[in-house]
Structure 1
Amino acid sequence: MRSMIIHMSGSSKRRGNVDRLLRDLPAAEVVEAVDGRDPEQIAGVQRSDGTLFSPHYPFALRPAEIGVFQSHRRCWQRILDAGWDFGLIAEDDLRVDPARLTRALRLIERHADREMYVRLPVKARETPARVIAEDGDIRLILPRIIGLQCICQVVGRHAAERLLAATDRIDRPVDTFLQMHWITGQPIHALLPNGNAEVAHEIGGSTIQTRTGARGKLAREAKRTLYRARLHLHPQRA
């Protein structure tokens, strides 16, 4: 399996972790991240804030979220251009347990095909609609409700092609879009627990989150709660 690490070359604080990932991930290479704060890099992005699909997403896309979405699209395209059956896509604030990752990838390789998209999330919160396979305490599942974050995933060639075709225009962050399996036609699997961790707090903090006042936080949380309730009306089914 080949791996891609999404990293902005100007982010010097994250370079040490990228070097670690280059050692720990199989056949890894760095993919230059799209800088959503650079108007030239996102000039061709077609967007409709929150209104393309139902349920409508209650927040406008932030520049950093546009950059992250386009960075993942760049990796999906890399899988197609290289002719790989699968590609592991990691963000540069990921830390892995190499031994546990090896077990996880062996389980995926035994059961995955080019149609599959398998998340390896840092938080084991998803509940299964179906258990596909197990290796000791590690389970490959089809979750009822797809979790957030795209810090680590294995993407099959046909899944990458399908997702690229569905994202010529974007209206919400990439992880939120991937939850909409009834729109994309792309089932999303998960493998957990997997030993992965997020270490953004150790290497300069999040590149997406922004500061919001107390009143703004309350308003955002209310909108987010309502959106999640609507999302739960569309579980993945075994």
Structure 2
Amino acid sequence: MRSMIIHMASSTARAENVARLLDVLPEAEVVEAVNGRDPAQVADIEVAGALHRPRYPFALRPGEIGCLASHRRCWARLVESGAPFALIAEDDLLVDPPRLDRALDMIASHADPAMYVRLPVKARETPGKVLAEDGDMRLILPRVIGLQTVAQVVGRDAAARLLTVTKRIDRPVDTLLQMHWVTGQPIHSLLPNGNREAVAGGSTVQGTTTGKLRREVQRALYRARVAMRPQR
């Protein structure tokens, strides 16, 4: 299985972690991340208004546009390569190599080019179906798809499908992937898997206490609406 590590060369703080990932991930290469602030780099993506329901309540930030475009770059490389699937990782991923090997072996025994399997850093998903078990690890179809795109095994056919549905966007990549009723792409997860983040995630939006509270209310309402459309 080949691996692609999304990394912006100017992000020197993550260079050491990228070097570790190149050493431990199978057949790994670095894919230059897209700068969402550069119009030329995101020219093939149209940022539109409310395309889908539920409506995403926040304006897309340049970093979110660049993140989605970076994943599209990896999906395109996978399709062009003809490989059945690939591991796509972001440069803040920390892995436990023995557990990752177990996870990838488990995925490889069930994966096909139409599958998309998350290797989340947070084990928060509730299974709608359990496809396979190996000790404490379970390959599941989660009822509600989790957020973040730190690590995933993406099939070639899934990549082609996602390239088609992301030519016009109205929300970040992880929230779009939750919308299986829009993408037509089932999303599986394998957990626990030993993965962690090198840098803590979370919103960096600043503002007044009232503004932050409003965002949290909007976020909670949005997630509740997404949860009303579980995978089955």
TM range (shorter): over 0.9
Q: Compute the TM-score of the two structures, normalised by the length of structure 1.
A: 0.95
Q: Give yes or no for contact 1:5–1:90 (8 Å, CA) kept in 2.
A: yes
Q: Secondary structure at the match of 2:73?
A: helix
- What is the CA deviation profile of residues 193-238 of structure 1, one whole-angstrom value per residue up to 9, with x for unaligned ones? 000000114xxxx69733333221101011111111111110001x
Residue 34 of structure 1 corresponds to which residue in structure 2? Answer: 34
Residue 175 of structure 2 corresponds to which residue in structure 1? Answer: 176
CA distance in 2, matches of 1:27, 1:196: 19
Q: Secondary structure at the match of 2:130?
A: strand
Taking the TM superposition and a 5 Å limit, the aligned residue runs for 1:1-238 are 1-49=1-49, 51-201=50-200, 209-237=204-232
CA distance in 2, matches of 1:101, 1:209: 30
CA distance in 2, matches of 1:88, 1:142: 18
The amino acid that maps onto 2:230 is P
The amino acid that maps onto 1:39 is P
Q: Give yes or no for contact 2:5–2:91 (8 Å, CA) kept in 1.
A: yes
Could you tell me which runs of 5 or more consecutive residues in structure 2 were left unpaired when the two chains were aligned: none
Could you tell me which runs of 5 or more consecutive residues in structure 1 were left unpaired when the two chains were aligned: none
Q: Secondary structure at the match of 1:134?
A: strand
CA distance in 2, matches of 1:29, 1:36: 21
CA distance in 1, matches of 2:156, 2:204: 31
The alpha-carbon deviation at position 43 of structure 1 amounts to 3.5
The amino acid that maps onto 1:220 is R
Q: Secondary structure at the match of 1:41?
A: helix
Taking only the aligned residue pairs, the percentage that are identical comes to: 65
CA distance in 2, matches of 1:208, 1:22: 28
CA distance in 1, matches of 2:168, 2:59: 14
CA distance in 1, matches of 2:89, 2:115: 16
Alignment length, in residue pairs? 232
CA distance in 2, matches of 1:48, 1:121: 28
CA 1:207–1:226 in 2, change beyond 3 Å: closer, same or farther? closer
Q: Secondary structure at the match of 1:229?
A: helix
CA distance in 2, matches of 1:103, 1:12: 31
- What is the CA deviation profile of residues 45-65 of structure 1, one whole-angstrom value per residue up to 9, with x for unaligned ones? 20114x000111000100000
Q: Compute the TM-score of the two structures, normalised by the length of structure 2.
A: 0.97
Q: Secondary structure at the match of 2:219?
A: helix
CA distance in 2, matches of 1:46, 1:208: 24
Cα-Cα RMSD: 1.3
The amino acid that maps onto 1:218 is L
Q: Give yes or no for contact 1:64–1:208 (8 Å, CA) kept in 2.
A: no
